């Protein structure tokens, strides 16, 4: 499959060809141990491989922005995680996001969609399609049908979806921690009806612009990666195997479910209130990664020196609580 064009990236997008890792939290609240552990692993991957480590605040979804970015950065710094340059606000990248959508639209890869989530769930899906996959309801409407659909939802605006190329229903990639991963692709949303650019589009454009070639994040996002690889190809951006992916197993709460704030003291502030400081949390996280002995104090430099990605645990870590 050929990209829609091969225009070179601008000076911002070609900022550093030596490569970088990154951490990109949403400012929706305090980081819990699962977030902090993933950030630590992303930092270790970058520092141990001589890459820059960058920070991006993914604040596009204004409804979820609790103004927690400053507190999140302070918590990361308290653990000993440092980064290069100033954190990038994703909201400052709007022009690049819109340019990418325009590029895809010019090549015929974008169409309007007026479906609600309820419409999608109620519609019949194609054989073998995964649950919740977009059934293509608005994909091939005539101009008159599209105009009538817009009128039905006014004053709400249509969303924009990717018209995935024929034959691109799934895609496989090699993950440094999960091995071979196969994921489904459908006509994903590029921009919501409220004007918010979708995560999959923004993350692809921003990682490329920042020179990121090593993407380390929670394994709950692994299923999104095939969609992002498709977008990279269509936009003519760097993609696998030039990009490395590593999806980190999640942290589970005492009950065995994904860790959440309902599990008690799971943020640095919560733990500090119980007498557990940032240095002790760092040691606990390092121990969970096989990089420290039980109760062993470790510095950030020591963790980097011991880091071996091939030896990282492949299973979720259960937080026992305090």
Which residues are part of a known binding site for ATP?
261
Pairing of strands 214-218, 244-248: parallel
d(CA 24, CA 50): 19
Task: Give the 3-state secondary structure of residue 145.
Answer: helix
CA angle 46–52–55, rounded 5-degree value: 90
Question: Residues annotated as binding site for L-glutamate?
Answer: 22-26, 58, 199, 217
CA 14 to the chain's CA centroid = 21
DSSP one-letter string for 164-203: PPTT-SEEEEEETTTEEEEEE----EEE-TTSPBPHHHHH
Question: Residues forming the annotated binding site?
Answer: 22-26, 58, 113, 115, 134, 138, 199, 217, 261
Q: Where are the beta strands (DSSP E) in 124-275?
A: 159-162, 170-175, 179-184, 189-191, 214-218, 244-248, 251-252
Q: Write out the H or E segment, with its range, that includes residue 103.
A: helix 94-106
Tell me the β-bridge partners of 62: none
What count of Cα atoms within 13 Å lies in the side-chain half-sphere of residue 231? 29
Where is the binding site for Zn(2+), in residues? Answer: 113, 115, 134, 138
Question: How many whole angstroms separate alpha carbon 129 and alpha carbon 123?
Answer: 12
β 251-252/189-191 pair status: unpaired
């Amino acid at each position: 499959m050929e990209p829609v064009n091969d225009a070179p990236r601008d000076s911002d997008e070609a900022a550093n060809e030596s490569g970088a890792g990154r951490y990109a939290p949403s400012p929706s609240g305090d980081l819990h141990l699962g977030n902090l552990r993933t950030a630590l692993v992303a930092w270790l991957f970058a520092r141990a491989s001589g890459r820059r480590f960058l920070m991006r605040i993914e604040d596009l979804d204004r409804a979820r922005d609790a103004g927690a970015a400053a507190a999140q950065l302070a918590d990361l710094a308290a653990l000993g995680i440092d980064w290069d340059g100033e954190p990038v606000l994703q909201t400052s990248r709007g022009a690049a996001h819109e340019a990418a959508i325009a590029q895809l639209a010019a090549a015929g890869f974008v169409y309007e969609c007026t479906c609600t989530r309820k419409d999608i769930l109620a519609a019949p899906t194609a054989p073998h399609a995964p649950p919740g996959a977009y059934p293509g309801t608005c994909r091939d409407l005539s101009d008159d049908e599209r105009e009538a659909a817009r009128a039905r939802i006014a004053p709400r605006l249509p969303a924009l979806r990717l018209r995935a190329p024929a034959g691109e229903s799934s895609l496989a990639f090699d993950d440094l921690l999960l091995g071979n991963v196969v994921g489904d692709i459908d006509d994903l949303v590029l921009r919501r009806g409220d004007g918010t650019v979708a995560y999959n589009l923004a993350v692809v454009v921003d990682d490329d612009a920042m020179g990121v070639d090593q993407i380390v994040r929670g394994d709950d996002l692994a299923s999104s990666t095939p969609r992002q690889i498709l977008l990279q190809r269509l936009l003519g951006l760097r993609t696998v195997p030039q990009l490395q992916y590593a999806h980190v197993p999640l942290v589970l709460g005492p009950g065995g479910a994904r860790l959440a704030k309902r599990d008690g003291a799971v943020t640095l502030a919560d733990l500090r209130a119980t007498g557990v400081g940032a240095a002790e949390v760092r040691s606990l996280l390092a121990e969970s990664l096989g990089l420290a002995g039980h109760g062993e104090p470790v510095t950030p430099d020591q963790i980097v020196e011991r880091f071996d990605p091939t030896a990282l645990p492949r299973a979720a870590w259960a937080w026992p609580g305090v």
